[in-house]
């Protein structure tokens, strides 16, 4: 190794210290201009269009994605592509957020007359309040930094971190202003774990129809065991002739029955079932079913409708396969 490990650690610590300082300095810049920027975006009837070149473009893409996933429709447009047709993606109903550390990025400056001609509100995040972009914008937010974390002072490091942090501040402020909820977030992330926890219902994962393990009150315990084995859910639900739930018989009930030396060939399932066991209603979040199973240490749960009739059964493995856990 050409450099001592301790020196590597020192350099890394310096980078984090410099970038932490850059972000901390932004707190004093949360002023009326920040509020004005939020107002423009809250009143936007179109989309937030984020522009940025180079590293600012990468940051712009992330800011647009964060806005879109937290209730503020947004997308990123590459300024160079905008000059060759993509400017048509920006409408008079939109708000433009332009990122440029220098505030003099040629590709963005080329677009300013077109943006102004359309009457599109322009928010600029730059490191130079005196720049052309800052002076042209309806709102300028200062994201300047004292120094880049790059020892050469060349690679965008602290400046991009500061811009990203300010973008997050805007997104979260808008999220709160819109009353955006965890359920709203889940709808934007249906493939993620949070989405599955907040969108998946008992109806989506429960076993229904012929898949439901059912036993009648007068069934022999032996027959109830066979029903459990056939359906493979670790339980059978004891119901009357109209499908009203009377109780459940589970693996745990079987162990307790064997401890009492109950004869499985002559005992009735009602003698060993758990009467008035835990149930859950259709349309309930699957995450709530998981919570109940964990709290009461059970592995299966009958789904019972408002009339007290059996609608389905789900077990822990169903929730695991669905990614709720």
Instruction: Please state at what angle helix 32-42 crosses helix 158-178, rounded to 10 degrees.
Output: 60
Model's pTM, two decimal places?
Answer: 0.68
Q: Tell me phi and psi for residue 97, to 5 degrees.
A: -115, 115
Domains of the chain: 5-180 (3.40.50.10490), 202-321 (3.10.580.10)
Q: Report the pLDDT value the prediction gives residue 186, as an integer from 0 to 100.
A: 60
Q: At which residue do the structure tokens 């300010």 appear?
A: 166
- Which tens digit of pLDDT belongs to each residue from 103-133? 999 999 999 999 999 999 999 999 999 999 9
Residue 69: per-residue pLDDT: 86
In sequence order, what are the residues at sequence separation of 6 or more whose Cβ sits closer than 8 angstroms to the Cβ of residue 82?
51, 89, 90, 107, 111
Q: CB burial class (10 A; 0-12, 13-18, 19+) of residue 198? A: buried
Q: What is the mean pLDDT of each run of 10 residues along the chain (325 residues)?
A: 84 93 95 97 96 96 94 94 88 97 96 95 97 97 94 87 97 90 64 64 91 94 92 92 93 88 89 90 88 89 93 89 75
Are 156 and 171 spatial neighbours (Cβ–Cβ below 8 Å)? Answer: no
Strands of 245-250's sheet, edge to edge?
A: 214-215, 235-239, 245-250, 274-275
Q: Which of 108, 147, 112, 113 is nearest to 127 (CA)?
A: 147
pLDDT at residue number 41: 97
pLDDT at 325: 67
d(CA 108, CA 136) in angstroms, rounded, equals 11
Paired tokens of 87: 């400017």
Dihedral sign for Cα atoms in the order 109, 38, 89, 159? positive
Which residue intervals of the chain are DSSP H helices?
5-24, 32-42, 54-69, 79-82, 106-109, 112-117, 132-136, 158-178, 182-188, 193-199, 202-205, 221-231, 251-259, 269-272, 286-296, 316-321
* Full strand arrangement of the beta sheet holding 122-126: 74-77, 48-52, 95-100, 122-126, 139-142
The conformation of residue 144, written as its DSSP 8-state character, comes to: -
Residues 129, 100 contacting (CB under 8 angstroms): no
Helix (H, G, I), strand (E, B) or coil at 196: helix
Residue with tokens 């301790």: 6
Look at the chain and count its residues. 325
């Amino acid at each position: 190794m050409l450099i001592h490990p301790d020196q590597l650690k020192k350099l890394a610590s310096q980078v984090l210290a410099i970038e932490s300082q850059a972000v901390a300095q932004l707190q004093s810049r949360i002023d009326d201009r920040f509020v004005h920027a939020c107002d423009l975006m809250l009143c936007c009837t179109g989309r937030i269009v984020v522009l940025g070149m180079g590293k600012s473009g990468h940051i712009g893409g992330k800011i647009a994605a964060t806005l879109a996933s937290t209730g503020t429709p947004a997308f990123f447009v590459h300024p160079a592509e905008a000059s060759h047709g993509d400017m048509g993606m920006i409408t008079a109903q939109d708000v433009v957020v332009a990122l440029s550390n220098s505030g003099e990025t040629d590709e963005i400056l080329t677009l300013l007359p077109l943006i102004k001609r359309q009457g599109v509100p322009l928010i600029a995040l730059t490191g130079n309040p005196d720049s052309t972009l800052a002076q042209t914008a309806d709102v300028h937010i200062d994201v300047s930094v004292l120094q880049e974390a790059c020892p050469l002072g060349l690679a965008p490091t602290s400046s991009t971190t500061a811009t990203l942090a300010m973008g997050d501040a805007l997104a979260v402020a808008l999220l709160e202003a819109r009353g955006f909820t965890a359920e709203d977030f889940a709808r934007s992330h249906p493939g993620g774990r949070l989405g599955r926890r907040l969108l998946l219902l008992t109806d989506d994962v429960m076993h229904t129809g012929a898949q439901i393990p059912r036993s009648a009150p007068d069934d022999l315990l032996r027959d109830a065991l066979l029903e459990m084995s056939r359906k493979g859910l670790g339980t059978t639900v004891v119901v009357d002739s109209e499908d009203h739930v009377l109780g459940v018989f589970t693996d745990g009930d079987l162990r307790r029955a064997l401890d009492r030396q109950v004869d499985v060939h002559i005992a009735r399932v009602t003698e060993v079932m758990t009467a008035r066991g835990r149930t859950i209603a259709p349309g309930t979040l699957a995450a709530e079913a998981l919570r109940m199973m964990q709290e009461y240490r059970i592995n299966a749960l009958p789904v019972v409708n408002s009339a007290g009739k059996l609608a389905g059964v789900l077990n822990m493995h169903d929730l695991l396969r669905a990614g709720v856990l």
